[in-house]
Chain A
């Protein structure tokens, strides 16, 4: 059986289409107030997602009891070198608690040591500095630099195909007496076992 266009279809003219097209271009091109781009830029998105991770990590880490002054003492997250990320984090934790503990967010300058009472320390930047905290302190040290896990960081953010993921060093967690939930490890991009 020969295959040929159905007669009804062949009769259909395309003129109305061109008319519609012309109207559309004219209509759309009319000067008007263009809405501000509803999206946010990629750097802001990345910063927000990392801030949300820092907040979320707290649920999956167990600190030694001595790391907190009391049962209601706050969880302290210190952010070094990225005040905008700290601001995002402040917005995320607003009105939230980790169990009975409220959150405290600290912005720290580049060389200020994170001393007593910090539970999560985020060191921004790709410079790959050593963390400003003792190697055995019970602090979840989070970075975003290549090779950070080899320099005393517990968790390191990596970008995988435009997604923010994180690697985990079990050796560092052990040194710092932190117990990491296996659920955290299951979501991790890469888990470096303890030596």
Chain B
């Protein structure tokens, strides 16, 4: 379910505003070696690169062990720092709209439904990482997007992989992986100050970076914003204004050690008299080390604390959660031995979840410790004639279902230097969250909802076929066809016509095509387009007594597309425009919409950028998710921003 969305009343299994629940994390696999952003270094291609593109090329990874994205046998889209800045977006979810292989719908001012390849309503099949820290919550397997943030200026890139990634990324990487990677402290030196305001939100942010004595660098940042909230279709306020402040730091040393952390505090208005409160803090230690002989090793450990207080109707108590996650991971990349190139790793993650239950609804037991242990290995086998075979398997033990296995087998072939054909067969697994096993209502017997004692993991068997090519310098495209077969999806079953349990009586399949094309028309003008089609067929098993229906899993558009233009004009003016179209959602019905965003920026001096962004400029203001008349209308908005980089 989309974070923060208030579920329809018929869905008794939904907790009240999971989105309002504070951050959490879980942790399994470490991010794979950061893939090179650009791999094609043929001179004729380089000539089409902008200054910024050239500066973003990682010199080691083109020859090193990290796999360039252009040869990864998966459906990968990369959002760059420049893409984010030039789109004029002010939040992480908005930045994710730039990936054609994601469904991104704004539910209210602070809550979003983000998914890949369908399943937008379940909101529990994405693996999301920020600098290697897993940010989906074990409370319901979704991401609380209101709790997750970074300084957008410091993002290096966001790698969006649609499709299964469980072997490398662990449980929850069923339909996609979002990997948010910030720049190193060395790349964010100096001062940055940004002030922006508009008719919908007001933002302020600052960052300072400098050298440390022993060859290291650090940065500190702080940001805060206020969002005025939305109106419902019926004209009433959605009571969803919110504000949040966040601070953080990162330090990188030459010996491969990184230490970073963030802390935040937010207040969210809601229909009940008292505000929701979210807060949290995390700290990460990471060590990347190249060993003699060409092997390399990465070790990461982090702790992540989050808090949520969600007061209900007066007299009905407050749902509070205190969640602590501790995670340690190791990944070892071996040098090629004969045709084999092996990567293996292991990890352990512990979540200590403490819930204060209101009388109407409860996670039972209220306090629980969940642990995940994993080991994985992947082998890339060079077959000759520019073909490779990639096989991998992960075994993971979790507190609810014991061992789960996530295998993948992928083949790729380069018929020409600028063309890659690939195919993959994988099994991805979503292991249970607390929502699937521990949800009771009311908090004491007799229960109307009695947990999910038999809830097992959801599985997805996936076939993919992809093509990526750059037929002429400056023009590149990617195309992927996929078929997911789902089993054991969550349902809510009526037992003995008297109470409900969470079970696995839904199944189905989804197939579709996703693709995008980028054309650098001239060094100063870039056009890009992308889109997806989806045919999702879900059904309940014959013996099911489910009451939520298949739209509780996915209420997805059958297609969506986007088109962007990024133009550098004389006199230091940048003009960017983006149009996106999302087809209608079936149940609850949301009409199709088309939205135009535009931004114009001027640099009176190299270190100053003044920009005006208009969002949702043509067509009518629209609903993106949820049922009328309570659904939030996403308004037209104008935003003026001043950024100074010194």
Contact = CB atoms under 8 A, between A and B. Distances in A.
Interface of A: 1, 3, 5-6, 8-10, 12, 14, 17, 20-21, 24, 27-29, 32-35, 37-42, 44-46, 48-49, 51-53, 55-56, 59-60, 88, 91-94, 96, 159-166, 181-189, 191
A1 B606 contact: no
Contact of B44 (A24, A60, A92, A162): A92
A51 B41 CA distance: 11
A49 B41 contact: yes
Contact of A49 (B54, B384, B404): B54
Contact of A34 (B50, B382, B405): B382
A187 B51 contact: yes
B454 A6 contact: yes
19 contacts: A1-B364, A3-B368, A6-B456, A10-B402, A28-B381, A29-B340, A35-B383, A39-B63, A45-B62, A48-B46, A53-B51, A56-B50, A161-B187, A162-B59, A162-B61, A183-B51, A183-B606, A186-B607, A187-B51
A186 B603 contact: yes
A38 B50 contact: no
Contact of B55 (A9, A163, A181): A163
B338 interface: yes
Contacts, number: 174
A152 B595 CA distance: 51
A88 to B, nearest CB: 6
B287 interface: no
A9 B407 CA distance: 16
A20 B59 CA distance: 37
A38 B402 contact: no
A1 B603 contact: no
B499 interface: no
A51 B46 contact: yes
A33 B457 CA distance: 42
Max chain A Cβ within 10 angstroms of own Cβ: one of B68, B385, B401, B609? B401
A55 B401 contact: no
Contact of A161 (B62, B184, B437): B184
B240 to A, nearest CB: 34
B49 interface: yes
A182 B572 contact: yes
Interface stretch (B226-234, B301-309, B386-394): B386-394
B325 interface: no
A60 B59 contact: no
B57 A164 contact: yes
Contacts of B572: 181-183
Contacts of A24: 379, 391
Given A48-B43, A48-B46, A163-B187, A40 B402 contact: no
A92 B453 contact: no
A96 B59 contact: no
Nearest to A184: B51
B196 to A, nearest CB: 18
Given A1-B453, A29-B338, A182-B606, A92 B46 contact: yes
B576 to A, nearest CB: 15
Contacts of B83: none
B403 A35 contact: no
Please name the 8 residue pairs, one residue from A and one from B, whose CB atoms are nearest each other, closest first. A5-B402, A185-B606, A91-B43, A182-B606, A52-B46, A39-B63, A187-B51, A28-B381
Interface of B: 41, 43-44, 46-47, 49-52, 54-64, 68, 71, 184, 186-187, 252, 338-340, 364-365, 368, 370, 379, 381-389, 391, 393, 395, 399-405, 407, 414, 437-438, 451, 453-454, 456-457, 523, 568, 572, 603, 605-607, 609, 645
A34 B46 contact: no
Contacts of A28: 338-340, 379, 381, 389
B356 to A, nearest CB: 18
B456 A187 contact: no
B60 to A, nearest CB: 5
Given A6-B402, A17-B405, A56 B55 contact: no
Contacts of A8: 456
A28 B568 CA distance: 50
Contacts of B457: 6, 9
Given A28-B340, A45-B62, A5 B51 contact: no
Max chain A Cβ within 10 angstroms of own Cβ: one of B63, B523, B568, B572? B63
Given A5-B400, A35-B383, 10 more contacts: A6-B401, A6-B456, A12-B403, A17-B395, A21-B393, A40-B41, A45-B62, A163-B57, A163-B58, A164-B55
Nearest to B38: A49
A84 to B, nearest CB: 12
Contacts of A160: 186-187
A9 to B, nearest CB: 5
B366 to A, nearest CB: 11
Contacts of A191: 606-607
A48 to B, nearest CB: 5
Contacts of B605: 182
A56 B399 contact: no
A17 B59 contact: no
Given A1-B451, A6-B454, A52-B54, A164 B47 contact: no
Contacts of A48: 41, 43, 46
Given A9-B402, A28-B339, A49 B58 contact: no
A165 B591 CA distance: 47
A31 B126 CA distance: 39
Nearest to B438: A1
Max chain A Cβ within 10 angstroms of own Cβ: one of B41, B59, B61, B451? B59
A14 B405 CA distance: 9
B383 A32 contact: yes
B188 to A, nearest CB: 10
A35 B393 contact: no
Contacts of B400: 3, 5-6
Max chain B Cβ within 10 angstroms of own Cβ: one of A12, A32, A37? A32
A56 B16 CA distance: 55
Contacts of B50: 56
A39 B572 CA distance: 37
A42 B386 CA distance: 21
Contacts of B60: 42, 162
Nearest to A91: B43
A3 B403 contact: no
Contacts of A17: 393, 395, 405
A165 B55 contact: yes
B217 to A, nearest CB: 9
Nearest to A57: B51
Contacts of B407: 20
